[in-house]
């Protein structure tokens, strides 16, 4: 069996370490070994800050993602949909509506309605019809 040694800590710090150790490890020795290994393996000092926490990074990422989504929706509304509509209208084959020309009254020809017409059969003889 390994021998133990006593280390003096302030009561408040010892209580914090005991609570931490109970939550994550089986024994206090295992907890202290893992803590020391973590700092040695990652070559960091316990005094330096590692930067923003995971929650703050996540919140910033969500804000940026929402901003990107808003930009994409705006591009879709203002650029993509109108462009697609214009391209589709180019491929649709429709006959243009023929609008009558607007002509001044003095140049417009009045169509005179013919009330009586001569019958062609009476106008030409059989020989003349054959020539036609």
Phi-psi region of 43 (alpha: psi -120 to 50; beta: other; left: phi over 0): left
The predicted structure's pLDDT at residue 102: 72
The predicted structure's pLDDT at residue 27: 92
Query: For 29, phi and psi rounded to 5 degrees?
Result: -65, -45
* Cβ contact 11:18 at 8 Å: no
Q: What is the DSSP letter of 124?
A: S
Contacts of 1 (CB under 8 A, 6+ apart): none
Q: If pLDDT is split at 50, 70 and 90, which confidence band does 104 have? A: low
How crowded is the C-beta side of 123, counted as CA atoms within 13 Å? 4
The predicted structure's pLDDT at residue 120: 58
**Assigned token pair, 37:** 């290994």
pLDDT digits (tens, 9 = 90+) for 5-17: 888 999 999 999 9
| Claim: this prediction has a pTM higher than 0.85 | no
**Assigned token pair, 32:** 């202290």
**Assigned token pair, 115:** 């009330």
pLDDT above 80: residue 105? no
């Amino acid at each position: 069996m390994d021998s133990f040694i006593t280390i003096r800590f302030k009561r408040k710090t010892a209580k914090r370490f005991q609570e931490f150790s109970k939550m994550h490890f089986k024994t206090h020795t295992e907890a202290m070994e893992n803590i020391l290994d973590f700092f040695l393996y990652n070559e960091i000092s316990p005094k330096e800050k590692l930067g923003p926490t995971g929650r703050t990074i996540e919140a910033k990422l969500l804000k940026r993602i929402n901003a990107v989504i808003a930009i994409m929706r705006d591009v879709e509304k203002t650029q993509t949909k109108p462009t697609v509509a214009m391209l589709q209208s180019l491929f649709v084959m429709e006959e243009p509506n023929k609008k009558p020309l607007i002509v001044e009254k003095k140049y417009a020809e009045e169509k005179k309605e013919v009330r009586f017409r001569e019958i062609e059969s009476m106008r030409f003889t059989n020989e003349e019809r054959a020539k036609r």
